[in-house]
Each structure stands twice: as structure tokens, then as C-alpha cells.
Amino acid sequence: MREYFPLIVIGAIIGVLSVIFIVAYALIKDKKTAIGFDRNMKDSDLIKRLLKYARPHISSFLLVLLLMIFSISYDVIAPLMVGYIEGMIKEDFELNKLFALVAVYASILIVSLISTYFQSIILQKTGQKIVSKIREDVFEHIEKLSHDQLNHIPVGTLVTRTVNDTNSLSHMFVSLLVNLIKNVFVILGVLTAMLCLNYMLTLTVLCFIPFVVLFTLIFRKFSRKAYRKVREKITDVNVYLSENLSGMKIIQIFNREERKKAEFDQKNNDLGNAKRSQMFTFGIFRPMVYMLYISSILALFYLGGRGYINNVNFLGQAIDSATIVTFYMYTNKFFNPIQSLAEQFNLLQHALASAEKIFTVLDIKPTIEDSEDAIELDKIEGNIEFKDVWFSYLPNEWVLKRVSFKVNAGETVAFVGSTGSGKTTILSLICRNYDIQRGQILIDGIDIKKIKISSLRRHFGQMLQDVFLFSGTIKSNLTLKDDNFKDDEIIKACEYVNADSFINKLHNGIYSEVRERGNNFSQGQRQLLSFARTILHKPSVMILDEATANIDTETEALIQNSLEKMMNIGTMLMVAHRLSTIQHADNIIVLSHGEIIEEGSHNELLNKKGKYYNLYTLQYNKELLKKGV
């Protein structure tokens, strides 16, 4: 046995040095790069940011660590007791002593199990609180993004980040971090006990550790890529589903089911291939670690058996059967945490890949934010002025050029022009859904960039062509879950815009169900509900964008009557497809290619016989043809 000692010591030293070298190399190579929307981040940065969410719950984690001490004590003490019992049975057997040892062993086991139970309960509660907070932060951040940013990020991507990726983090806080710490303490405790028991056999086991570390680092590199690929493919599937389920009616109308199924099958297969690659990476790592564990056991039995047969006594440490049994159990407990690291690395890479995607969203800086000196507006009169406004969605592709006009409080102003002339853009700029590149937009003489966004938008009521209704009831859609509105106020608002004409026919009135996107109501009914919603919130400025487009004649009459009433409430800005609906406007602004070419009342513009006259005449003649006149 003595002749093997120098080789064992050298092997152990090389092992420790190789571990230090490999870990240092891994840290140096762990760089951060940024590639578009998805980024590759350092693991250390991700963990630091995740731990910030855990910081408020530090007391719960400290309690878990305290309970962990009891569960770790079993892993360290149990092999010693089994070895002692084995030695006692062989040399100095006493039944009462055996019963006492078994009772102590059982007590330690029970304490360990109870500690593990409460540890799991605390971690589950704490982990869910942390994940819930992350999910809230992601959703809150998405709410702050500008319209332009939301238009460029697929809805399915944001859903995946908010739901799937945050769920993946729950394992990290519920079990992963604590188990990693527990495994480290178990390894240190077992290693200390092994060194105290026998140096030579301990060094023998340590010779196999560098290979474990090497395989772990290799696994870390490939598993991270595999998990990132899986997350990307899951996102692709969610994005595809979100888009195509929303457009399923169009798919069915044009008989494209087979084509879309083939496209989905391709994305599903890509996800399956990514998951198989992930499982293949994990499937290689675990058997490699197990092979090293078996090799260490064989080496232990060989050297321990020779030492026992030859009755070797090294530095006062004899090798007997009890030592071999104890070391066998310790080696098992030493490699079990290392083997479980495979699963923990599995979960860690899963969590970090998800965290990377989540923080990528959280790191998107909103393009439209309040300035430091932004003010609150308790109320506005409704005076609006555009001063030489230039705007483009894309650099140097101007949608608006040299646009200047004034709207006095209480006036109704309409914008007309061909498609792409900039009508809807003007309405979006007033609410600061986008920021202009040149010029100035004033509300009551104040630049809108100096007004807090939430304060500015609170005074506007927008009624768009594509009305969005949420799942719930008519009441919840009108109040937007604001409990300050009473039923009488809601009913009066509905009556004011003629929405009561169909609400009163419903069995539950304003408590009637609204299905997803309001698909159980006609387009005209949805538009009337949007009018009622706007009136209920008492805006100072009302914005209507193609509110009467594609509406049947009967509903148009109701909407027209509603519009005439609403014109008396405050300032109104309109974009109308049907020019008949804007004849009573105080001012009509005609746009062409982003510039104002005409301005005046309905009669003034007809007398000019310019662009507006041509549009009105063309539309009027079409109406006559439809009626057969």
C-alpha cells in the first residue's frame, strides 16, 4: 500500500490544480455578447439579477439553511454509525448497544425527514412569491413599451416570456439554489469525515474529481446552447399559434388548413429536434459521472482490500472492514451530490435560458418616457396646436411634413384624405403614442413632451375602427374594472350614445357576457359600446378614427345621432371614411402625402372645388348609384 501513496498524492494534487485551472478558464471565457432582441448574457450577471428578487425573502432562505443543517447531519453521521455497527457486530457485539445505535440512527433519520418536509414547504411558498413578482414586473414593463415597440415584438413572444419562461424559473427558487448549497455542504462534510477516517482512501477518491469537473464544464457549454435553442423553438411555436389562431377564420375561408398544418408540423418538429438534442447532451453526462463513481468504488475496494489483507497502518490509521464499509457509503454520498448536479445543471441551464429571455424583455428601454420635469394636468380645456410637425416611422421616410393647424376648445375638427396621407398618424401623435422628430405639439399651450404620459392620455377618449372588447361583461368593458362607476352612470352613458337600443334586449343587460374580442356582438354594437365607454370616462378631447366605416345603414343612423350629441361635450377630432358624417364639423383639414393642402368648413371646401370637392362628389355619386338613382 505504501508504494501507491506517492502516486495517489500526486494524482490528488493534479486533480485539485486542474479543478482550479478549469474553473478559472471557464470564468475567463464566460463573456457577454448582444445580438439583436435575444442576447447572450453571463451566467453570473443573470444569477445576480435573479438574487435581487430573492433578497426580500432572505429570512425564509436563512430558515431553510438552518433546517438544512439537520438533513445534512444525517448524510455525514449515518455512514459512521453503520461502520461502527459493522465493527461492533464483528468484534464486540452487544444487543442492547445495537438497539441504542439503531434508535439513534432512526432518530437522526426522522429529524432529517421532518426538516426536509418543512424545507420544501417554505421553499414552495417563497419560490412562488418570487416568480409572481417577476411575472408582475414583466407585465408592468410591457405596459410601458411604446406602440412602435409593441408592433415589432410578436404577441406570442411576450406571452412566452410572461408565462412559460417565468414558470421555468420557479424550479430555480423552489429547489435548485438550495439544493446546490446543500450539495456543496454535503460534499464538504463528507470529505472532512473521509479525511479524518483515512487519508489514503480519501485521496484515492479525489483523483477522480478532476474528470467530473471537466465533464461538467463541457456539459455546461453544450447544455446552455441546447436549452437556448429549446426556448427559441418554444417561442416560435407560441408566436405561430398566437397569430394563426387569431386568423383562423381567414385560414378556413381561403381553405389553407393543410398548408398551415404543414407549417405547424415543421415548427413542431424543430422543437422536437431541439429537445432531442438537449436530452442527448444530458444523456451523455449522467452516465459519464456514474462511470467515474463506479471506477472510484473499484479503486477503493482494491486499495482498501489490499490494506485490510496486509494489515496496513498508515500514519496511525488502520484499514479494517468497518473502514471499507464506511468509505463505501461515504463515496456513495460523495458522488450522489455530484451526480445530482447533472439534474441541477439541467434545471439551472433551463432557468438561466429562461431568465436570459425575460431580462432581454426587461432591458428594452421604452422609446417614449416622461421627461424629468414632466407635469401633471388636473384638467385641460382642449386647445390643440401643431407647429411645423414632421414625423416618420422609418428614418427619412416622412409620413407628415410641415403640418401646422389649431383646434380651439370645444371645436370638432375632421381629417380627410386618401389612404396613407397621415390622418391616423396625427391622432396617434396627439396622444403621444409616438414622438415627433421635428416641430411641436401643444395642449393648452403646453408642449405634450412636458406632460406626464399617464396624465395626458387620461384626458383623451379614443374610439377606433377596430374596437377591442375584453372577455367579461358589458359593464366591465365600459368601466375597465373601475369600481367607482355606479350602474346608473353606466346606463345613462349607454342611453346617451344609443347603445341601450340593443343592451335592453339582452337578458342580463349591462351584466351580459362579452366573449373574447366581443365576437358575440356585431361591429356596429361594438362601436356603440366604445362610444359609451368613452363618454363614461368623461374625456376632455375625443378622438374618432374611422368610427363609422363598414357599418350598416341602420346602425350608422344610431352612430350619427350619437356623434352629434358627443360633439357638444368637448373637443372632437375625427377621421371619417364617409364624408357625410363630418359635414357639421367646425373645420375640415384635407391631407395629401403627409401635407395639409386644404382647410375650412364643409361648404367652404365645396366652394373651393379642390381635393375635398372631388372626394365628396365621387362618394356622393357612388351613393346615388347604390340607390339606383
Please give the average pLDDT of every successive group of 10 residues along the chain, which has 629 residues: 50 51 45 44 82 89 85 79 71 73 84 86 88 92 87 82 83 76 80 78 77 73 77 84 81 84 91 86 75 77 68 58 76 75 68 86 89 87 94 90 93 89 91 92 93 89 82 90 87 88 90 86 86 87 75 66 74 83 88 92 91 84 56
301 in the same domain as 269 = yes
Residue 387 confidence (pLDDT):
95
At residue 200, what is the residue type? M
Residue 245 confidence (pLDDT):
82
400 in the same domain as 343 = no
340 in the same domain as 384 = no
**Position 112 in a domain:** yes
Query: How many C-beta atoms lie closer than 10 Å to residue 589's C-beta?
Result: 24
Bridge-partner residues for 572, per DSSP?
Answer: 412, 542
262 in the same domain as 356 = yes
477 in the same domain as 393 = no
520 in the same domain as 376 = no
160 in the same domain as 105 = yes
User: Quick one: cell of 96?
Assistant: 442492547
**Position 609 in a domain:** yes
246 in the same domain as 130 = yes
Domain ends where: 310, 339, 362? 362
**Position 40 in a domain:** no
CA–CA separation, 377 and 446 (whole Å): 10
CA–CA separation, 619 and 586 (whole Å): 21
Residue 346 confidence (pLDDT):
64
Bridge-partner residues for 472, per DSSP?
Answer: 514
**Position 285 in a domain:** yes
Residue 32 confidence (pLDDT):
42
CA–CA separation, 1 and 8 (whole Å): 10
User: Quick one: cell of 383?
Assistant: 386647445
Residue 11 confidence (pLDDT):
53
**Position 337 in a domain:** yes
Domain ends where: 304, 337, 362? 362
Q: What is the CATH number of the domain that holds 527?
A: 3.40.50.300
345 in the same domain as 414 = no
421 in the same domain as 399 = yes
Helix 257-309, helix 321-362: angle, nearest 10 = 150
Residue 29 confidence (pLDDT):
45
User: Quick one: cell of 256?
Assistant: 389553407
Q: How many domains does the chain have?
A: 3
E strand or H helix that includes residue 271 = helix 257-309
105 in the same domain as 189 = yes
501 in the same domain as 629 = no
CA–CA separation, 46 and 38 (whole Å): 14
Nearest alpha carbon to residue 547 among 502, 538, 532: 532
Backbone angles phi, psi at 497, to 5 degrees: -105, 15
Domain ends where: 488, 514, 538? 538
Q: Which domain does 521 fall in, by range?
A: 465-538
**Position 15 in a domain:** no
Nearest alpha carbon to residue 156 among 238, 228, 234, 237: 238
**Position 215 in a domain:** yes
Q: What is the CATH number of the domain that holds 348?
A: 1.20.1560.10
Residue 550 confidence (pLDDT):
54
**Position 89 in a domain:** yes
DSSP H helix total and E strand total for the chain: 22, 16
CA–CA separation, 593 and 417 (whole Å): 9
Residue 591 confidence (pLDDT):
93
